[in-house]
Structures are given as structure tokens and as C-alpha cells.
């Protein structure tokens, strides 16, 4: 029996005027993680939240905080996000000169270390540092904004990473983010994904719908 797919609702799509309530609501609705999109207006064309908001939200849920750093440079902020309560910290290879060193530092801080691959980023180099990775996040949209359409070609990347991870016998979570809906989720899972990030697909319809929306993504 396959393990249950991890569902990580992205609070980027939530009601920012009531973030604490939204985080409590998705946990109550069955979410496995809280996905936090951190954007700096430089690495990606948008600005969202920083460590202080993560710290403020942390008491509102017991489930892990999955923090995706869309910032460059990322290294100066690792300690701040970990101290704020990030359980998983994921960075882009393009966000610093030494990915391996960054991943090692994240683990030293006590968090799980993730790598995020943009649509045009080759997964090949990860083969040489798999033992230092806890999670790989495949972006199935270009990062920076919510509500974008799924890029089908990224499924081939998920399949390639699945083969790479399995061949190495590595214990790595394979996550997909961008345009994940009840229609695209089964394709991601079939390609080898074990975790899904979804924003609009979870938060549409308000809190009364969150449990059903999350269940629909699991299939």
C-alpha cells in the first residue's frame, strides 16, 4: 500500500487578514504541513512574508512548517527562519554559490533541507549531493505568483527525479508546487511525487470546504 500523499496548503492563497485562523483551519481540515512561500521582490517578482510572520504563526499549528525561500541570497536568512519555527527550509540552487554548504547549514540548524527546481533548472547536479537532501520541490509553474497554470512538461522532471532517488535508495520527499488541482494531482502522484503544495485548490470556498478540498487532492 502506497504511503499517503503529503498535502501542504500554501498560505499564499489564504486570507492574509486572518492568517492565524487560516493556519488553524487547514490543520483541522487534515493538512499535513503548512507551506510558506517567502519572496523578496528580487529573486522572484513579488514580496510576501519574512521570519517575523512565521514566528507569529508558529503557535497556531502543530504540523510542520514547510518554508520555501524564493530569495537571494538565502544563506543570511537560514538562522532567522529556523529560529522562527521552520521545520523544512528549501532553497533554489540559483540563490547562492554553494548549494551543498547551504544544505549542510540547514541541517546543522536542525531543520530538514530542501532544494527547489524552477521549470528550467536541470535536476542532474543533485545526483552528487543526494545524501544531503531531505526534500526536492519541483516547481510546475514559474515561481512568484499563485494561481498559475500547471506546466505539464515538469512531470518528466518528477519522473526523472523519482528514478534518481530510487536508484540511490535515498529517503527524500519529492514535492510538486504550482497549478496543483484535483485534476493535476493524480498525474503528479503517478509521476512519483510524494508531497503536493496547493494554494487556490485548498483555500477556495472558505474554511467549510478545506477538508473536502484537501481530500480531493489525495484522490
- Do the annotations mark residue 177 as ligand-binding? yes
Q: What confidence score (pLDDT) does residue 123 get?
A: 97
What mean pLDDT is predicted for residues 102-112? 98
Q: Is 219 annotated as a binding residue?
A: no
Give the percent of the chain with pLDDT over 90: 94
For 109-135, what is the mean pLDDT?
97
Whether residue 1 has pLDDT greater than 70? no
68 is in an annotated binding site: yes
Per-residue pLDDT of 157-213, as tens digits, reads: 999 999 999 999 999 999 999 999 999 999 999 999 999 999 999 999 999 999 999
Is the pLDDT assigned to residue 95 strictly greater than 80?
A: yes
Q: Give the separation between CA 47 and CA 72, rounded to whole angstroms.
A: 12
Q: What tens digit of pLDDT does each residue of 39-84 get? A: 999 999 899 999 999 999 999 999 999 999 999 999 999 999 999 9
CA–CA separation, 152 and 214 (whole Å): 21
**Residue 130, helix vs strand vs coil:** helix
Task: Tell me if residue 37 is catalytic.
Answer: yes
Question: What value does the mean pLDDT take over residues 92-103?
Answer: 97
- 15 among known catalytic residues: no
178 is in an annotated binding site: yes
> Taking all residues of the chain, what is their mean pLDDT, rounded to a whole number?
96
The packing angle between helices 210-218 and 19-28, to 10°, is: 50
pLDDT score of 3 more than 90: no
Task: Answer yes or no: pTM beyond 0.95.
Answer: yes
132 is in an annotated binding site: no
Q: CA 206 to CA 25: how far, in whole Å?
A: 10
Catalytic residue among 66, 75, 134, 177: 177
pLDDT at 2: 62
200 annotated to bind ligand = yes
Catalytic residue chosen out of the listed positions 15, 32, 37, 166 = 37
3-class DSSP state for residue 29? coil
- pLDDT at 219 (0 to 100): 77
pLDDT for residue 143: 85
Residues forming a β-bridge with 88: 66, 112
* CATH numbers and ranges of domains, the chain: 6-218 (3.20.20.70)
Q: Give yes or no for a contact between 4 and 214, defined as CB atoms under 8 angstroms apart.
A: no
Amino acid at each position: 500500500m502506497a504511503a499517503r500523499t503529503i498535502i501542504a496548503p500554501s498560505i499564499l492563497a489564504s486570507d492574509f487578514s486572518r492568517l492565524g485562523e487560516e493556519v488553524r483551519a487547514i490543520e483541522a481540515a487534515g493538512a499535513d504541513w503548512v507551506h510558506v512561500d517567502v519572496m523578496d521582490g528580487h529573486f522572484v517578482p513579488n514580496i510576501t512574508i519574512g521570519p517575523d510572520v512565521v514566528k507569529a504563526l508558529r503557535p497556531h499549528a502543530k504540523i510542520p512548517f514547510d518554508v520555501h525561500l524564493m530569495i537571494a541570497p538565502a544563506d543570511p536568512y537560514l538562522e532567522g527562519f529556523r529560529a522562527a519555527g521552520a521545520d523544512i527550509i528549501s532553497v533554489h540552487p540559483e540563490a547562492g554559490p554553494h548549494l551543498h554548504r547551504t544544505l549542510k547549514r540547514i541541517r546543522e540548524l536542525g531543520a530538514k533541507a530542501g532544494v527547489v527546481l524552477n521549470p528550467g533548472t536541470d535536476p542532474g547536479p543533485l545526483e552528487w549531493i543526494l545524501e544531503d537532501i531531505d526534500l526536492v520541490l519541483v516547481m510546475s509553474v514559474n515561481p512568484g505568483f499563485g494561481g498559475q497554470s500547471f506546466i505539464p512538461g515538469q512531470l518528466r522532471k518528477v519522473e526523472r527525479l523519482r528514478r534518481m532517488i530510487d536508484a540511490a535508495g535515498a529517503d527524500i520527499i519529492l514535492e510538486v508546487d504550482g497549478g496543483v488541482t484535483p485534476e493535476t494531482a493524480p498525474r503528479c502522484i503517478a509521476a512519483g511525487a510524494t508531497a503536493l503544495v496547493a494554494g487556490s485548490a485548498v483555500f477556495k470556498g472558505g474554511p467549510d470546504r478545506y477538508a473536502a478540498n484537501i481530500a480531493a487532492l489525495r484522490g
